[in-house]
Amino acid sequence: MRTITVFKGDGIGPEITDAVLKILDAAKAPLEYEIFRVGAAEYEENGALIPDAAFASFEKNKILLKSPITTPIGKGFRSLNVTLREKYDLYANIRPAKSNSAVATPFPNVDIVTFRENTEDLYVGVEEQVDQDTVHATKIITRKASARIITDAFQYARAQGRKKVTCVHKANILKQSDGLFLSIFKEIGADYPDIEAEDKIVDNVCMQLVMRPQQFDIMVMPNLYGDIVSDLTSGLIGGLGLLPSSNLGKDYAMFEAVHGSAPDIAGKNIANPTALLWSGCMMLEHMGELDIAGKIRRAVDEVLEEGSCTTPDIGGKATTTEYCEAIMARL
């Protein structure tokens, strides 16, 4: 048995976490859980966004399954996602978007993996109030951070038999910062002659994604573009409820759904736990439990294909509980 840390988050976080843990247990995943509540509700009650015991648990177990956390817009505390990524150097945010034939979209056969640098760019959160009407934000791009995420993208492409890596940038305008990222991409790409290396400007990428997404395979980019473009790829496959992610560093790994905490539907038992469940499958694969991850993926595919027990966000009428029970029945 392996002990992992679980953050329940807030909004729909607790209910989709409970659903995912039930499915992991039904699949006989060899896991034990140390579960913590984190986020806005924890802060309001106890004055800490993340309890010290939760940090200690993650530092001991090295693996975290995290559900969505509410982040205030324009005021209040900083994003806990950003805090965790920086604190534990979770530099590689990997977000696979793959079509499922059971989920109707105008974009069949999408299979794109976004590699997003996770620790710098505008997300360092360095802002300066120059005067009453002017604010400056600092964009940071370094060789170290850029080289390791780009190398990871090429290594993943080679290991998975992928054919192409696309660098997404805005080096035509940001000639020094994005220019550095692009130049490092070209340097590293030369070491992988078996993989096609191309680059595209970020606004062109967004247009191309909604015209012919099948042209993309692996994409690698700085932090801000990765956040935006990966959300766009989720729209191609049916929405954020279907997009998982991993956040990997040298010593720690965090797995989370990409979507937000959706407080407007919290407690209504209609939230879709698939993104968090597939993030759990990425976690199992990271731990070497390939058979169990595969079994869960097949069960989800069968429920989606059958179609009578899916949640409202993908066109169904089932509750979270009913969807969860249907998956467990397939297991």
Q: Please identify every residue annotated as catalytic.
A: 123, 170, 203, 227, 231
Residue (of 93, 99, 217) closest to 162 by Cα position: 217
- Asked if 98 and 237 touch (Cβ cutoff 8 Å), the reply is yes
E strand segments, 79-229: 92-98, 111-117, 127-131, 134-137, 164-169, 196-201, 218-221
Burial (CB count within 10 angstroms: exposed 0-12, middle 13-18, buried 19+), residue 81 = buried
- Asked if 279 and 246 touch (Cβ cutoff 8 Å), the reply is yes
- Asked if 93 and 226 touch (Cβ cutoff 8 Å), the reply is yes
Amino acid at 158: R
Cα torsion angle, 198, 153, 230, 250, sign: negative
Rg (CA), the chain: 20
Please compute, for residue 124, the number of CA atoms within 13 A of its CA located in the half-sphere on the CB side: 15
